[in-house]
């Protein structure tokens, strides 16, 4: 696998598809380029939000705004893979240490933030993984996977979405149901609001430790004591 790190001079990033333009200077990072349909744009972040949307564009545009102490030390790495193009913050001095991902999290907590803004065509898939910050993906044309540890996840897509958070709420609107196997939407400490396609054919199961379960669709609800609630239903023509 070829590996390309974007440094402060600005350079072309190797990836599958057309040539790309990139620049990583000081507290600003910009990248733009084209990817083939169904490729994946993936963002990994530690501190601050990830905001993605589709528009009338034929190429991917990624902007990263860096802030905080020593933000100039943060570089954005692009590591092309067989599925698409991932972006992630990196601090050069930490890459050689043991447990570099933990060190980056620890360093970023005190020293820097990176706010990612992404615009992409509706022919691409999108994935986001965050630690301390929200994930927002609006009107994406293909499948979405979005996760945060401490933050809300808000997704809308013409396809389907998988979402998760530990400390935060989830809102997911999906128009498609083309996933294979089990689709998981999970929050440990937060509410979940789902808007599913009306022609969905699936078995659905919901569980909550302390929260209430409400649905516009008929569900069989089981209430535990003193906590824990679960609900299940067969929607459409799906049979067990």
Distance CA(120)–CA(60), nearest Å, equals 5
What's the mean pLDDT when you consider all of the chain? Answer: 78
> Per-residue pLDDT for 115 more than 90?
yes
pLDDT at 240 over 60: no
Q: What is the pTM of this model?
A: 0.80
Which comes out higher in pLDDT, residue 10 or 142? Answer: 142
Q: Is residue 129's pLDDT more than 70? A: yes
- Phi, psi at residue 99, to the nearest 5°? 50, 60
Burial 140-161 (b: 16+ CB within 10 A, else e): bbbbbbbbbbebbbbbbbbbbb
- Residue 140 pLDDT: 98
Q: Using the predicted structure, report yes or no on whether residue 65 has a pLDDT greater than 70.
A: yes
Please determine, for residue 36, whether its predicted confidence score (pLDDT) is greater than 80: yes
Percent with pLDDT over 70 in the chain: 70
Nearest-angstrom CA–CA distance, 103 and 60:
30
Q: Which one has a higher pLDDT value, 170 or 240?
A: 170
Higher pLDDT, 226 or 114: 114
Whether the pLDDT of residue 38 is over 70: the answer is: yes
Pairwise CA distance, residues 59 & 211, whole Å? 42
Q: What pLDDT score was predicted for residue 96?
A: 44
More confident residue, 42 or 191: 42
Helix (H) or strand (E) holding 102: helix 100-111
Q: What radius of gyration do the chain's Cα atoms show?
A: 20
pLDDT digit string, tens, across residues 147-182: 999 999 999 999 999 999 999 999 999 999 888 888
What are 76-101's pLDDT values in tens digits?
888 777 778 888 887 655 444 444 44
């Amino acid at each position: 696998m070829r590996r390309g790190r974007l440094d402060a001079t600005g350079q072309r990033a190797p990836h599958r598809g057309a040539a790309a333009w990139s620049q990583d200077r000081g507290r600003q990072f910009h990248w733009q380029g084209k990817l083939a349909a169904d490729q994946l744009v993936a963002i990994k972040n530690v501190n601050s939000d990830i905001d993605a949307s589709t528009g009338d564009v034929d190429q991917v545009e990624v902007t990263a705004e860096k802030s905080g102490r020593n933000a100039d030390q943060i570089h954005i790495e692009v590591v092309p893979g067989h599925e698409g193009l991932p972006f992630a913050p990196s601090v050069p001095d930490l890459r050689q240490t043991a447990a570099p991902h933990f060190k980056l999290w620890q360093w970023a907590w005190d020293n820097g933030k990176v706010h990612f803004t992404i615009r992409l065509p509706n022919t691409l898939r999108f994935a986001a993984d965050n630690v301390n910050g929200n994930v927002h993906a609006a009107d994406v044309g293909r499948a979405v996977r979005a996760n945060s540890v401490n933050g809300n996840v808000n997704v809308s897509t013409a396809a389907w979405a998988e979402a998760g958070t530990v400390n935060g709420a989830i809102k997911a609107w999906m128009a498609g149901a083309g996933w294979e196997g089990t689709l998981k939407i999970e929050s440990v400490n937060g509410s979940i609001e789902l808007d599913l396609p009306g022609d969905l054919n699936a078995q659905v199961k919901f569980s909550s430790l302390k929260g209430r379960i409400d649905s516009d669709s008929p569900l069989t609800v089981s209430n535990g004591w003193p906590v824990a609630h679960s609900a299940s239903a067969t929607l459409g023509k799906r049979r067990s």
